[in-house]
Amino acid sequence: MPLYYLQKSLTSLGVKTSWNGSTLNVTSAPSAWKLKTGNPPYTSNPPSGEMQFAIDGAKDGYVRAPKLVAKDPASGEYTAYVPVYYADLFLHSYLSMGASWNGDTWVLSPQATGSITQTTYASWAAASKQVESVRGYLDFPQGDPTVNLGYGITARTDAAMMHAGYAWNEGRWKVEVLYYTKNQGAKQLAENVVAYLHDHMLPAPNNQGVILIQSTTSPSSTAINPKTTVAWQEGNTVYRYASTASPTQALQTVVDSNHG
């Protein structure tokens, strides 16, 4: 990935950077973002043939990567390239951004912001009804076709009137991914969520939790641009969080919380 295009993409998300030939430095980010700084693992400048990612003008680096200087086919100018893997690692680990690469397209999403709301209802039944109301518009009846999402998870599929979706359970959590039939990448999105939840522990609901990931684009669009809503019950209390960041970033906010 040419660093020039990475910097351009980050700028569009409100992240300003500078490049001195060996260090890509994040100089500022949106005020609501929380960056993970302190105790960088690398000190001083990187050796020849490598580059590093830094924050706030520090000479120390948080992630180092191989660097290649080659001609950019688009501009014809020589520029620095860095493997997508290391850029993803830095953006995930220190900027808490969403980043996914499918071999052709690299999608970056901003850090999930906002807070988890907490509402207490008059009864357990009323709280349960509020959580259940988060679920989407498809029924996913027994007998619907199924699809393997990996890690031993099989999802039911359903479709009606240009809408389609996947639904599965993760313990006491019900997960739904809803999209328009022309949207592309829904199955990959669902697989990314399954892979994330395989390695990360959500709060344990009492009695239930719902994760709704829903397309926010038009029925004619090929993009999904998902909104993620997470709600779960603890007795008479319902916790709720919604975000238009990547679904895994939204889930990370819930995982990192002390709720439930």
C-alpha–C-alpha distance, residues 164 and 12, integer Å: 31
Say how far residue 85 (Cα) sits from the centre of its chain. 16
Residue of 94, 79, 115 lying closest to 1 (CA atoms): 79
Cβ(93)–Cβ(13) below 8 Å:
no
C-alpha–C-alpha distance, residues 165 and 95, integer Å: 31
C-alpha–C-alpha distance, residues 217 and 222, integer Å: 8
Say how far residue 230 (Cα) sits from the centre of its chain. 13
pLDDT at 209: 95
Cβ(110)–Cβ(15) below 8 Å:
no
Find the DSSP H helices in 61-185. 84-95, 124-132
Cβ(183)–Cβ(195) below 8 Å:
no
pLDDT at 58: 66
Find where tokens 């999930």 sit. 112
Contacts of 31 (CB under 8 A, 6+ apart): none
Q: 0.85 cut: is pTM over it? A: no
pLDDT at 258: 63
Residue of 198, 199, 180, 177 lying closest to 246 (CA atoms): 177
Say how many Å lie between the first and final Cα of the chain, rounded. 40
**Domain range list for the chain:** 3-109, 117-256
Average pLDDT per consecutive 10 residues, the chain (260 residues; last block may be shorter):
92 92 92 83 89 84 93 89 93 84 78 83 93 89 90 93 93 95 93 93 91 92 90 94 88 79
pLDDT at 259: 62
pLDDT at 207: 84
